Structure 1
Amino acid sequence: MPDQELGFIRYFAALPDPRVNRTKKHALSDILGVTLCAVICGADSFEEIERFGEAREPWLKQYFALRNGIPSHDTFNRVLAALDRKVFAACFGHWMADLNTATGLKAIAIDGKACRAAPGDTFSGCLHLVSAWATENGLILGQEAVPDNGHEITTIPVLLKALDLTGAVVTIDAAGCQKAIVEQIREQGGDYVVTVKGNQQTLHRAVAAAFEKSGETEWAGCDMRASVEDGHGRHEERYVTVIKSPEGLPAGWTDVGAVVAVGRERAANGKNASTCHFYLTSLRGTAEELGGYVRGHWGVENGLHWCLDIAFREDENRTRDTNAGANLGVVRRVAASLLKQDAKRGSIKAKRLNAAWDQDYLKQILQGFRDN
């Protein structure tokens, strides 16, 4: 028996074991625990998970029974392929939610990511994962795989339903700009900030007209904020304008509090670019507050997606089974979340190496840098 315990294992107590008794050579908690440890420490495939386990077996036996040694890579693959991906993601989500110490309104970014090398019969032609990301703390709160013949539009409501949105501000890109989705967010106790683009032409025209009308009156009654940033050879000016209780919007959009325009003027490498994006929100906040939520949503690209592709090589992962790919995707997102809790040791890649080399550091990572 192991002489110590890692607290996160308790979150999987209710996870059904899909195997029949005769195939349960290895405890489910051992398989999941070794998988997470291996991915944190740099393993990006089932073969690498097995090799990590063999190299670190004496240390792992402090926390896991491992009565029959380290499972084979085929065993890791088969078990992750058989696990219920909704329940599996929910178990990790409960753990991450407990680590999320944000108070008051918390921002949750909902965004999808294609796993290009993993085949899938989705709208993007590959495995496509939609994640809920706590932008303030850098923690994954949930994940839903787009089903075969599916799309993000139908997957987002399923993911939202699994989350506690009480007091949360949910930010979503244009794919989530749907009447039913914003209504669901409000019914679940959250607020929304959604991007308005051409996929909602009537709404987009009405929001643009509201800002044109305000411009004619020299922005009377609008809240505005400008900011300037310089660095790395780049100059960027950002302008946020908020119209509260806007008039002239089409019916059916639940609890609209304001519309937001975010304009950017950017100069880099001798080239200039200008953009303007519109947003619909149930909040009646200031330009500074709402601009912060918009910018926080952009952060999911760098805070999560870029990290998954660069540090975890997710776009290169060729796991063919959709269920195994989705479950391994959850493990990668949890590993990234845990590694981000350490603000002192540089890049995610460097932290993964450090966890592989320093077993005490790995234990800190697994504890979320706090006592379990």
Structure 2
Amino acid sequence: MMTPETDSSLVGHFSMLEDPRDALRRRHNLLDMVIIAIAATLAGADGWVAIAQFGRAKEVWFRQFLELPNGIPSHDTFGRVFSLLAPDAFEACFRAWVASIRTVIPGEIIAIDGKTLRRSHNRAKGLAALHLVSAWATANRVVLGQVATDAKSNEITAIPQLLALLMLKGAIVTIDAMGCQTKIAEQIIDQGGNYLLALKGNQGVLAAEVEEAFIEADAKDYAGVESEALDTVERGHGRIETRRYRTLGELSGVPRSALWKGMNMIGMVESTREIAGKISRETRFFIGSIGTGVVDFGRAARGHWGVENDLHWSLDVAMREDDCRVRETQARENLAVLRHIAMSRLKNDSTKLGIKNKRLKAGWDEQYLEKLLFDAPPSAGQNAPSGSPNISRG
């Protein structure tokens, strides 16, 4: 059997975590508690009571590789210790594991997005719901890092903190309209990455300039300008979705582009969705430093939308994150890290099951749980826009 010290393992990266407790009062090893918590979360536990119950049910198995000098800690002990544990230190161990197994893919999409944990507020103590800004590597399918804030409006300050934790060289960073800020774009370029930022009302004048530039280019059938288009069609689950991705490198009609470091293109996505005979249309605009190659643009735009399905939806549906009622500040952040650890590991497991059923299997099958804890996951491939492509230039 492998041990927690194995370099390529998930749990091996938590052995250097500093214990915040008084040394004379410790009855349980911190690493034992962390491994039990990770294992239990992989197997479906969603809070301290469930984590402690899982530990007791699997105590004989855990004793094969944990010390457990005083047995399995109580749920109160788990809650108390994780409320003392510094979330940034806990998450740093997780990031170290991600760095050890992540395949560096040129042009990988790193999607930055925020999510509010709806039931994490505590009105009695004046504690707002926890809002997490996370970085999701779309090809490797792992969370690269997270920063906690107490409001969605604070994403503008949280995003630079999160970016500073990441290795961006060669990556394309995508952010929704909240992060469409000149300083954020500059930071991404300075860290060696490129960006694709969504445009909305918070950049009203720039958005109007971009839309007008496309109107003028379209009126001339994009003659004499650097531009590419890509059409995709997707069918499934009773719906048909068509998308046209269009890039434009002619920025003379976008004077505010001079304010954005590295900006060399604008993008437009026209989407049409047909469900049961009903048709809806939507047009989105973007700015970026990725050039006018439409395949990269389409991959980046779709990659960012994928964070909703690949990460947030899974956290809500498979891990019931929005139902979590842990409200102590550091404990709720650390529990969110545990969910991200579990989600990243399960997403990178090749077993042909959904996340919910993988968690059930981890609870039933000790060999499978051991593999998740102690084996390095396989490398991930790179995603491209799905559907039937048809690229045109000019």
Q: What range describes the TM-score normalised by the shorter chain of this pair? A: over 0.9
In 2: Cα distance, 1:286 partner to 1:120 partner: 48
In 1: Cα distance, 2:346 partner to 2:277 partner: 36
Secondary structure of the residue aligned to 2:38 is helix
Structure 1 counterpart of 2:86: 84
Partner of residue 288 from structure 1, selected from 285, 291, 295: 295
Given residue 82 of structure 1, which amino acid in structure 2 is its aligned partner? L
> 2:231 matched to 1:226?
yes
Q: CA RMSD of the aligned region, Å?
A: 1.9
Change (3 A) 1:267 1:150: closer
Report the Cα offset of residue 120 of structure 1. Answer: 6.1
Partner of residue 315 from structure 1, selected from 302, 312, 322: 322
* TM-score, normalisation: structure 1: 0.94
Secondary structure of the residue aligned to 2:351 is coil
Structure 2 unmatched ranges of 5 or more: 380-394
> 2:146 matched to 1:133?
no
1:191-230 to structure 2, matched below 5 A, reads: 191-220=194-223, 221=225, 222-230=227-235
In 1: Cα distance, 2:152 partner to 2:109 partner: 30
Change (3 A) 1:181 1:120: farther
Structure 1 counterpart of 2:377: 369
Partner of residue 25 from structure 1, selected from 24, 27, 36: 27
Q: Could you give the per-residue CA deviations for residues 176-195 of structure 1, whole angstroms, max 9, x where no partner exists?
A: 10111111111111111110
Q: Is the 8 A contact 1:6 1:63 kept in 2?
A: no
Partner of residue 156 from structure 2, selected from 153, 157, 161: 153
Given residue 47 of structure 2, which amino acid in structure 1 is its aligned partner? S
Secondary structure of the residue aligned to 1:192 is strand
My pick for the range that moved more, 63-72 or 13-22, is 13-22
Partner of residue 38 from structure 2, selected from 18, 36, 39: 36
Change (3 A) 1:207 1:60: same
In 2: Cα distance, 1:127 partner to 1:272 partner: 36
Secondary structure of the residue aligned to 1:105 is coil
List structure 1 runs of 4+ shifted beyond 6 angstroms: none
Structure 2 counterpart of 1:108: 110
Report the Cα offset of residue 344 of structure 1. Answer: 3.2
Change (3 A) 1:238 1:370: closer
Change (3 A) 1:253 1:63: same
Q: Is the 8 A contact 2:128 2:150 kept in 1?
A: no
Report the Cα offset of residue 24 of structure 1. Answer: 1.6
Q: Is the 8 A contact 1:102 1:136 kept in 2?
A: no
Report the Cα offset of residue 343 of structure 1. Answer: 3.1
Q: Could you give the per-residue CA deviations for residues 222-269 of structure 1, whole angstroms, max 9, x where no partner exists?
A: 211111111111011100100025222313211102110001011112
In 1: Cα distance, 2:189 partner to 2:151 partner: 28
Given residue 47 of structure 1, which amino acid in structure 2 is its aligned partner? V
Q: Is the 8 A contact 1:182 1:253 kept in 2?
A: yes
Structure 2 counterpart of 1:350: 357
Structure 2 counterpart of 1:56: 58
> 2:236 matched to 1:236?
no
Report the Cα offset of residue 67 of structure 1. Answer: 1.0
> 2:307 matched to 1:306?
no
Q: Could you give the per-residue CA deviations for residues 131-167 of structure 1, whole angstroms, max 9, x where no partner exists?
A: 1111012101101111479611111111111111111
Structure 1 counterpart of 2:120: 118
Change (3 A) 1:281 1:370: closer
In 2: Cα distance, 1:280 partner to 1:87 partner: 35
Change (3 A) 1:348 1:149: closer
Flag the structure with more relative contact order, 1 or 2, with Cα contacts below 8 A and sequence separation at least 6: 2
* TM-score, normalisation: structure 2: 0.89
Change (3 A) 1:10 1:355: closer
Number of aligned residue pairs: give it. 368
My pick for the range that moved more, 9-18 or 206-215, is 9-18
Q: Is the 8 A contact 2:142 2:344 kept in 1?
A: yes
Given residue 336 of structure 2, which amino acid in structure 1 is its aligned partner? G
In 1: Cα distance, 2:262 partner to 2:310 partner: 30
Given residue 325 of structure 1, which amino acid in structure 2 is its aligned partner? R
Report the Cα offset of residue 370 of structure 1. Answer: 5.7
Report the Cα offset of residue 97 of structure 1. Answer: 2.1
Given residue 326 of structure 1, which amino acid in structure 2 is its aligned partner? E
Secondary structure of the residue aligned to 1:151 is helix
Structure 1 counterpart of 2:392: none
Secondary structure of the residue aligned to 1:163 is coil
My pick for the range that moved more, 36-45 or 141-150, is 141-150
